[in-house]
Amino acid sequence: MEKQTRREFLKTIGLAAASSPALSILPGCVSAGQTGRAEPKRPNIVVIISDDMGYADIGCHGCKDIATPNIDSVARNGIRFTNGYVSCPVCSPTRAGLITGRYQQRFGHEFNTGPPPGGLREHVGLPLTEVTIADVLKSAGYVTCAVGKWHLGLSKHFHPFRRGFDEFFGFLHGNHSFIESGLGTFNPILRGTEPVDEKEYLTDAFSREAVSFVERHHDERFFLYLAYNAVHTPMQAPQRYKDSFKHITDRKRRIYAGMLTSMDEGIGKLLGKLRELGLEEDTLLFFINDNGGPTSANGSLNDPLRATKGTMYEGGVRVPFMVQWPGRLKAGLVYDHPVISLDILPTAAAAGGAEVPGDRNLDGVNLLPYLTGKKKKSPHEILFWRSGQNHALRKGNWKLVKMGSETGLFDLASDIGESKDLKAEKPDVLKDMQDTYERWNSQMVDPVWTIQRRQRKTTKKKKKN
């Protein structure tokens, strides 16, 4: 895939809980059931990430004006998480958490990496002390590939080749034009480490490369990390959709619809290739969005959730999240206990027979025993978020949110929209939540970098763990 291999690159730089049952069947869906294999073969593993998509913008979440049949098919053929979260309401920290299985506050990756000159500082990126999902799976014999948006460091030592990936096609910064290749800029499209003059609409190019990787490695165990930058700004849809969404009156959302449709069609091509090659049954595939939709910026919708990307409300951290593995997981299920993007690494490692280094303090959990019904309790008793002065935690159905000087306490079981602040009515719950947060916070470290460092006033730096 790349002109310069990972080995060559390394040589050049001198290194060789809800009230309903946790699992329920979607109406009208047929259960695939178990295949009867006592020891299923190790699956291929695919992680698909969309960028800045709204919670309400896919069909299985009730979207009516934009069709997403291929994303919806993952939920139909697998399990949809109704309480699916990411570990941060913005792009780069979420990816740092997902790719390590750890709260990114454990290693100081609390804010987005930025453009040059600050973004090229040697410490601005996923710390080299961290072990990634690609490292873990590669050690178990998987061939690994990253396609799309990286956003985990611009400097050479943060390149995907240094983080366990054998192949890379994409860009290193946090956003990119969909129609210009970026040649001659700090953020070109790269094949491996070489800039390329990509002519195709970028979402289509990423889908093309993902399909190509699967075709070339279909007889090996592979891990594909497909991180679309759709539907992040800039708002640029393929020309082929210019007349397809006349029923949408808002111009920005019409463009958004074309961008989302391109991504959905690309996911369909990847799913189709897996079926064509007879790999679908033995492929564990996750789909997740990186944070809530930034509604006013790109025309996304987060209904019925409160607020948007960048906030600690549900509209910032609760996201579309689903998984399929037809050879192992039942189809058409809905899972209601809270899960988080941190769970992807330990779940993939368990499925792939890969060992996580013993010194890793993972915050994610292996979801497989929960999704197969072997474990009935919630995978997580508590979930935490922190970004600058803002923080939140969910404990059961209680949610504590601190945004700036405002603090709110909400019961998500009856108020998913976080419209009724109960802190005055439930002072004991409020204190317990605040104390719980402070205990967790005391174990985290300060941000390694940020132009927003002045916001961090209360965090005491502790030893890394």
331, 398: one domain: no
Q: Which of 119-133, 337-351, 430-444 has the lowest mean pLDDT?
A: 119-133
121, 65: one domain: yes
* Residue 260, domain member (yes or no): yes
CATH number for 355: 3.40.720.10
Beta strands 283-289 and 44-50 are: parallel
> pLDDT value at position 430?
99
Average pLDDT over residues 192-203: 98
95, 76: one domain: yes
pLDDT single digits (tens) 349-359: 999 999 999 89
103, 159: one domain: yes
Specify whether the CB–CB gap between 288 and 84 falls below 8 A: yes
225, 120: one domain: yes
Which residues span the domain enclosing 328? Answer: 6-29+42-371
Closest alpha carbon to 67 in 226, 244, 238: 244
For residue 2, is pLDDT > 70? no
* Residue 163, domain member (yes or no): yes
DSSP E strands, 26-98 = 44-50, 79-81, 84-85
273, 322: one domain: yes
Q: Considering 88, 91, 176, 391, which one is annotated as catalytic?
A: 91
427, 359: one domain: no
* Residue 198, domain member (yes or no): yes
Please identify which residue in the block is written with the tokens 């492929």. 283
Specify whether the CB–CB gap between 89 and 387 falls below 8 A: yes
386, 364: one domain: no
Between CA 110 and CA 54, with CA 446 as vertex, the angle to 5 degrees is 20
CATH number for 441: 3.30.1120.10
Using CA of residue 128, residue 125, residue 180, residue 234, what is the dihedral sign?
positive
Bridge partners of 395, per DSSP, are 382, 398
For residue 16, is pLDDT > 50? no
pLDDT single digits (tens) 159-185: 999 999 999 999 999 999 999 999 999
Specify whether the CB–CB gap between 169 and 147 falls below 8 A: yes
- d(Cα 461, Cα 445) in Å, to the nearest integer? 5
Domain boundary residue among 312, 347, 371? 371
* Residue 463, domain member (yes or no): no
pLDDT single digits (tens) 27-74: 544 333 343 444 568 999 999 999 999 999 999 999 999 999 999 999
Q: How many CB atoms lie within 10 A of CB 240?
A: 12
Residue 256, classed as helix, strand or coil, is helix
Domain boundary residue among 318, 336, 371? 371
25, 159: one domain: yes
Q: Considering 61, 88, 109, 151, which one is annotated as catalytic?
A: 151
- Kindly compute the dihedral angle of the four CA atoms of residues 307, 310, 311, 315, in this order, to the nearest 10 degrees: 40
* Residue 461, domain member (yes or no): no
392, 307: one domain: no
- d(Cα 282, Cα 42) in Å, to the nearest integer? 7
pLDDT single digits (tens) 103-159: 999 999 999 998 888 888 889 999 999 999 999 999 999 999 999 999 999 999 999
Cα distances (Å, whole numbers) of residue 420 to 39, 92, 389, 397: 48, 31, 22, 14
Q: Structural domain tally of the chain?
A: 2
* Residue 462, domain member (yes or no): no
Specify whether the CB–CB gap between 110 and 60 falls below 8 A: no
313, 406: one domain: no
* Residue 464, domain member (yes or no): no
413, 340: one domain: no
Specify whether 380 is catalytic: no
> pLDDT value at position 121?
85
> pLDDT value at position 63?
98
Specify whether 151 is catalytic: yes
- Residue 184's contacts (CB-CB under 8 Å, 6 or more residues apart) are none
> pLDDT value at position 426?
99
Domain boundary residue among 371, 403, 420? 371
* Residue 356, domain member (yes or no): yes
| Cα diameter, the chain | 63
